[in-house]
Structure 1
Amino acid sequence: MITLFLVVFLDLVGFGMIIPVFPFYAERLGVSPSSVIFFLGLYSAGQLVGAPLWGSLSDRVGRRPVLLLTLLANAASSWMLAHADTGAALAVSRLIAGLAAGNISAAYAYTTDITTDATRPRALGLLGSAFGMGFILGPAIGGLLAGGDDGSSLAQVAYAAAIMSLVAFVLTLVRLPESLPADKRRQRHAPRTRMAVYLQRPVLRGLLVATVVVVAAVSLMQSTLALFSAERLAMGPRSLGWVYGFTGVISVSVQVGIIGRLTTRFGARRLAWWGTILVAIGIAGVPLAHDLVSLLTTLSVFSIGSALFNPSMSGLVASSAASNERGGVLGAYQGAASLGRVIGPVIGSGVAKVVGLSGPFVAGALICLVGTAFIASRRRNAGAT
């Protein structure tokens, strides 16, 4: 589990390094501020296709080959980004990176392979903390490597991100054993289960729809935050890197320190519901921030909610699947999350054009609250799997 944690952590550090720099670099290449939000959504479009594909493939060939292939693809996409000199090149590099990032479904499936129902919440929390820690160090390192607040050194950041993915590849190759024995894999001739089949299961349907809705709200906020902070608080890549790092510290503290005990006491469904409420409150508070302290305060609420929501939802999804279909089911879950990340920036871009950069946060909070109804429906349908 520690090796998998390090693999995911290193890969997410590389991804996180790009976040605070990309919007500024894209603008330097002639991409308008409102279109930057859409460009960020292209990454999730690739993830939308990749997550179900890699998850299902890992049920057939094992988790390790999928992780190795996608880590190499991540490194290649970062190299392409370093050499991009047009908006079209940026778009292609982001799409490929998103396709490769679909490997997260295989990482989650790996975790469920090596855990029991009793140990799974804490293990998923640990895996989630790898994401959080990636967002602590990644944006901070990216901001520092950018060399200033104009995003002029993206190539340097992108090369460093490629190195992170290559290190994760070597670590997987040398230290990570296969978690899914051959006798537990889905037969190669069996047809791949489509998302529509999972949606026919009442429990999964509620969870997947809730994931789309909540993640759409979260990605809407995240894709707008850099531009809003630059306009309202005059923040650049380096400052934003530290802000993202701060939110990562909050998220990791919750997922490593208390998520297992909270799940045992309150249950994953209740934690997912309350996490959604806190995310909505945090998103709604961003446009009210008038200085760095107030921004960090509302982002703290958001980070706590996100840290409760993510491992709780993935645990609920995993518990609804058989061992030989968990890759596919978790791939569907990651695909639902990716769909939300596509929808969110599109909505944010449209709202920002009409009412300004404060509007997407209000819309995001309202959308997020819709997700609570679908999470609650999981309890009503618990016996209808």
Structure 2
Amino acid sequence: MAALFFIVFLDLVGFGMIIPVLPFYAEHLGIAPSLIIFFFGLYSVGQLVGAPLWGALSDRLGRRPVLLATLAANAAANVVLAFAGNAWQLALSRLVSGLAAGNVSIAYAYVADVTTDAERPKALGMLGAAFGLGFILGPALGGALGGGEAGSANMTRVALAAAVMSLLAFLATFARLQESHHEEHRAAAGAEAKGLRWRLLARIELRHLLAVTLIVVGAVSMLQGTFSLWAAEGLGVSPRHLGFVFAFIGVIAVTVQGVLMGRLSSRYAPEALTRTGILLVVVALVFIPLAPNVWVSLAPMALYGVGSALFSPSVSTLITRTAGATERGAVLGLFQGTASLGRVVGPMAASGITALAGLRVPFWVAAAVSLGGAVMVHRPGGTPGAAAGDAPSDVAATPP
């Protein structure tokens, strides 16, 4: 497990390094500022396609080979980005990186393979903490490597460093990560592959959980897409202070997922933690746009950090319970693909609502929608996988 967390951390550092530099480099290439969000969106579109694809493929071929292939593809995409000289090359690099980043479904499936139901929430929380740490460190490194002048941001240096991170993750996977998906499970997954996605979507509990994921991730993405603009225009916050706010949220999320999640999951059911996480996000969304200054906004933003940190591993645990041992990759691929769809739809909805009603209203719309998601979370009456004829196995593979 430690090897997987290290690999995820390296991969997320590389992803985060690109974020602070990409807007400046896109402008350097002559791309209009209004179109820059399109290039960020391409990444999410790639994840939307890649997550279900790689998850299902890893059920048939094994987690390790598919993870190796996607890490290599991400490294190649970052090399293309390093030498991109026009908008088309930039778009290609972001789309391929997004497709490769769909490998997050493989990481989740790996954790599900090597843990029991009792161990899984804590392990998924630790995986989330690895994501969070990488996302905190990545933008800081990218900003440092990109340079201090907006007009001369060095994307070549940043993108090549990100490619190195992916290559290091590739080498760590090759050298240290053992296959978690047993050969008999891979053979069974291959025999059941035809029509699997539709059979999975026929499971009522899985459909409910995917709907909750779409609603909550979409709402959170509305916040992420609106907060920076609202804080800059409404509160006069500088980019540096915005960076501090997001780092503050990241530290809270890492603390909750890496330190507290194990203790909480031993006392409370994942349904309760999922609902609690959503309700904390709802409260945060209501009060953030009422803050008179950035310091007051830290209180509801802290609630948002705690809520989102509780939601992700808890709903992931519920999702894994709907999957049999031969289909975890496919189920978690659908989960991650649905989350990516939320990250595409949320900012688009926020943009339209802002144009019609101003910068505060998207927060309140997102709160109302998230509240509906909380209502949809309930304790299942039975194991959906078993009801479908594919009883999940509690027998975990031996961890590496």
> Same fold per TM (> 0.5)?
yes
Report the secondary structure of 1:323's partner residue.
coil
Measure, in 2, the Cα distance between the counterparts of 1:25 and 1:360: 29
Report the Cα distance in structure 2 between the residues aligned to 1:228 and 1:137, rounded to whole angstroms: 25
In 1: Cα distance, 2:350 partner to 2:68 partner? 34
Residues 314-360 of structure 1 show CA distances to partners (whole Å, capped at 9, x for unaligned) of 11111121111111111111111111111112212323333444443
Alignment of 1:361-380 (within 5 A): 361-376=363-378, 379=379
Match of 1:56 in 2: 56
Deviations 1:197-218 (A, max 9, x none): 2221111111011101111111
User: Unpaired segments of 5 or more residues in structure 2?
Assistant: 388-400
Query: Which shows bigger deviation, 258-267 or 185-194?
Result: 185-194
CA shift, 1:225, in A, is 3.5
Structure-1 residue corresponding to 2:396: none
Matched, 1:83 2:58: no
Partner of 1:169: 170
Tell me: CA distance 1:131–1:351, structure 2 relative to 1, closer, same or farther (3 Å).
same
Is contact 1:23-1:226 (8 Å) kept? no
Partner Cα separation in structure 2 for residue 350 and residue 178 of structure 1: 45
User: Does 1:223 pair with 2:225?
Assistant: yes
Letter in 1 for 2:122: R
The farther-off stretch of 142-151 and 164-173 is 142-151
Q: Report the equivalent of 1:246.
A: 248
Structure 1 residue 147, shift from structure 2 partner: 2.1
Between 116-125 and 191-200, report the one with greater CA deviation.
Answer: 191-200
Superposition RMSD in Å? 2.3
Identity %: 52
CA distance in 1 between partners of 2:190 and 2:217 (Å):
32
Query: Quick check: which has more Rg, 1 or 2?
Result: 2
Could you tell me how far apart the structure 2 residues matched to 1:154 and 1:290 are?
36
Q: Which residue of 1 aligns with 2:110?
A: 110
SS of match in other structure, 1:188: helix
CA contact (8 A) 1:64 1:177 kept: yes
User: Contact 1:216–1:344 at 8 Å: present in 2 too?
Assistant: yes
1:153 matched to 2:139? The reply is: no
What's the counterpart of residue 263 of structure 1? 265
Question: Following superposition of structure 1 onto structure 2, how do residues 60-75 of structure 1 map, counting pairs within 5 Å?
Answer: 60-75=60-75
Deviation at 1:76, TM superposition (A): 1.8
Counterpart-to-counterpart distance in 2, 1:380 and 1:184: 26
Structure 1 unaligned blocks of 5 or more: none
Between the two proteins, the alignment pairs up a number of residues equal to 382
Say which of 234, 238, 241 aligns to 1:235.
238
Q: Which amino acid aligns with 1:141?
A: L
SS at match of 1:20: coil
* Matched residue, 1:98: 98
Partner of 2:315: 313
Cα displacement (A) at 1:29? 4.3
Question: Is structure 2 residue 7 aligned with structure 1 residue 7?
Answer: yes
- Distance apart, 1:21 and its partner CA: 3.2
Cα deviation for residue 110 of structure 1 reads 0.7
Contact kept in structure 1, 2:285 and 2:363, CA below 8 Å: yes
Structure 1 position 220, deviation (Å): 2.2
Decide whether the 8 Å contact of 1:283 with 1:365 is kept in 2. yes
- Cα drift, residue 193 of structure 1: 4.5
C-alpha contact (below 8 Å) 2:231/2:294 kept by paired residues: no
CA distance in 2, matches of 1:382, 1:34: 49
Counterpart residue number, 1:210: 212
**TM-score of the superposition, structure 1-length normalised?**
0.91
Deviations 1:347-377 (A, max 9, x none): 123233334444433332232222112223x
Letter in 2 for 1:47: Q
Partner Cα separation in structure 1 for residue 368 and residue 343 of structure 2 = 16
Change over 3 Å in CA distance of 1:84–1:217 after alignment to 2: farther
**Which range is displaced more, 24-33 or 341-350?**
24-33
Q: Please list, as runs of the form range in 1=range in 2, the aligned pairs for 1:344-363 lying within 5 A after superposition.
A: 344-363=346-365
Task: Tell me if the contact between 2:74 and 2:163 (Cα under 8 Å) persists in the aligned partners.
Answer: yes
How far 1:383 sits from its partner (Å)? 6.2
Aligned counterparts, 1:262-301, within 5 A = 262-301=264-303
Q: Amino acid of the residue matched to residue 238 of structure 2? A: M
| Counterpart-to-counterpart distance in 2, 1:363 and 1:26 | 31
Q: 1:260, 1:81 → 2: CA distance?
A: 39
Moved more, 25-34 or 98-107: 25-34
